[in-house]
Amino acid sequence: MKKTICTLLFLTLTMTAFGQTDNTMNEFDSNFAHTVYFWLANPDNAEDCKAFETSLQKFLDNSAYAKTKFIGKPPRASRDVVDGSFTYSLIVTFESAEAQQNYQDEAPHKLFIEESSKLWTKVIVYDSKGVN
């Protein structure tokens, strides 16, 4: 119980001191893009999908570093070059590589992995830095 209270206090202080506002959380920052593709073990299982989406949204709502918060599903592929084999995609942008590393280490990210890693079989990450 004491650990939970301390974690919640830490998250609250972190969000207050370093968190983004609702406006900046939806702004694309071209400095650093973090794109993640998830393949769920049971992509047709509504309960698994709901659990994954809920955990991912909770994580993003509590991230102190993520600017863009895009969660997607593949559209029906219309061209051979489109890979629609994944179940979910996530695009998150950051003001810097350091902010992205802080995101990796923050408690909401670790909780998301703890809650959801049993639901996926594969994850691929593509990180990119802006050229300008």
d(CA 43, CA 70): 19
pLDDT digits (tens, 9 = 90+) for 66-93: 888 899 999 887 788 888 999 999 999 9
pLDDT digits (tens, 9 = 90+) for 13-59: 333 333 334 444 456 566 899 999 999 999 999 999 999 999 999 99
Report the DSSP beta bridge partners of residue 89.
Answer: 37, 72
Other Cβ atoms less than 10 A from the Cβ of 87: the count is: 22
The tally of CA atoms less than 13 A away on the side-chain side of residue 2 is 0
The CATH number of the domain holding residue 33 is 3.30.70.100
Give CA angle at 8 (5, 12), nearest 5°.
140
pTM of the model: 0.76
Domain of residue 32: give its range. 2-129
Structural domain total, the chain: 1
